[in-house]
Copies of this chain bind each other. A is one copy, B any other.
Amino acid sequence: MAKAPTIRDVAARAGVSVATASNVANGNRPVGEASRKRVLAAIAELGYQVDRAASALRGASTRLVGMIVPDITNVFFASLIHGVEALAERDGYDLLLASTSEDEAIERRRLHALVGRRIDGLIAVPASDGSMASLAASGARLPPTVLVDRGAESPVFDTVRADCETGGYEAARHLIALGHRDLAMLAHSGHLQNMAERIAGCRRALGEAGLAGRERVVYGGHDLESLRGAIETELQRAGPPTAILALTNVCALAALKAARGLGLDIPGDVSIVGFDDFDWMLALRPYLTTVAQPVDDFAASAWALLMRRMAGDVASPVERILLPCALKVRESTGTARPRLEAFAEAQARA
């Protein structure tokens, strides 16, 4: 690692002052054509690169954006990061990544670290709906921030999320139309608003069909194994559900695994509707009926919102972007059978 050239080297080589060199490099002030060319040449020859640490110190932006998600390993969040990273690079920003493992204490720590880096902006999928707001209230010096997927009710942050209520509603309608009367919803936690909305949508559909109160909600945490255990228990009850509405892609995986473990046929014995739509689902047999969320649009909207704020727009009121979900009917849902019959058969097979 030889010593990197500084702006002074550039200036010297171009025969101008550092101020001029700086102005060329950043385009902050107009520079005469002749000197501009010479500076540009010097920059190219030296392989000069602005030292962001120094410019940040001087008060300019760091061109650093923080991104914080619960779990990179979850395709949904990974895709989000992927989308944001591409946009960030396009606009000359770098991405500082942190993950929280769904833990608010870790989130606070990580966020503190990011803020200490003087990030220009932050895109976050918070560990809980209120965590960012309370962090901000407790005096954290947050940069412009947009919340994705969670914390949508926040009065202080721009937010982007899917229309979960309608997503849940349509999934339930689909199931009801197939004759299902006993639905189980599999969710991570009752404390997350997006989960609550999906459940609310489902209840609305049930209510409209005169089926209010027939549904069960199963909370299984964030871990795949515990989710599987939770829905398995539900499936083993007397009078089990004929259909499962899995409220995230991890829940869908858990539901599939549980049904399979119990020797249940899908959709013969249980229908399953999942959430999200990613490559790995393509190889699932049966091919999962699912409520797809427009992840790439999440990334694009979040980035656009963030850029606007980072550009200095503090005046506009908080914006809440709601993106539509799309029900993709595939192979994992079918007509409901009398549940006793299905149950007896499964027992016999086992």
Which A residues fall within an 8 A CB radius of B? 1-2, 4, 47, 49-54, 56-57, 62, 64, 71-73, 75, 78-79, 81-82, 85-86, 89, 94-99, 109-110, 112-118, 139, 141-143, 224, 250, 253, 256-257, 260, 279-285
Known contacts being A72-B78, A72-B81, A280-B253, is A94 close to B89, with CB within 8 Å?
no
**Docked-complex contact B94 and A117, CB < 8 angstroms:** yes
| Cα of A47 to Cα of B257 in the assembled complex, Å | 47
Q: Which 10 A-B pairs have the closest CB atoms?
A: A280-B280, A256-B283, A53-B56, A97-B97, A49-B116, A1-B141, A53-B53, A285-B285, A78-B78, A72-B82
A-B contact pairs, 29 of them (CB 8 A): A1-B143, A2-B141, A4-B141, A49-B116, A50-B116, A51-B116, A52-B53, A52-B116, A52-B117, A64-B117, A72-B78, A72-B82, A73-B78, A75-B78, A78-B78, A85-B99, A86-B99, A89-B110, A95-B98, A96-B97, A97-B97, A224-B282, A250-B279, A253-B283, A256-B283, A280-B280, A283-B284, A284-B284, A284-B285
Q: How many copies does the complex hold?
A: 2
Shortest distance from the beta carbon of A335 to any chain B beta carbon, whole Å? 21
Q: How far is it, in angstroms, between the C-alpha of A2 and the C-alpha of B253 when the chains are bound? A: 45
Query: Which residue in chain B gives the minimum CB-CB distance to A287?
Result: B260
Contact indicator B57/A53 (Cβ below 8 Å): yes
Q: B139 to A113, Cβ gap below 8 A?
A: no
The answer, among B94, B99, B224, B281, for a CB contact under 8 Å with A96, is B94
Whole-angstrom distance from the CB of A9 to the nearest CB of chain B? 14
Using Cβ atoms and an 8 Å threshold, which residues of chain B touch A49?
112, 115-116
List of B residues within 8 angstroms of A224 by Cβ: 279, 282
Residue of B nearest to A141 (CB): B1
The answer on a CB contact under 8 Å between A97 and B85 is yes
Measured in the bound complex, the distance between the Cα atoms of B19 and A111 in whole Å is: 27
Q: How far is the CB of A89 from chain B (nearest CB, A)?
A: 7
B99 near A82 with CB under 8 A, answer: yes
The interface residues of chain B lying within 8 Å CB-to-CB of A116 are 49-52
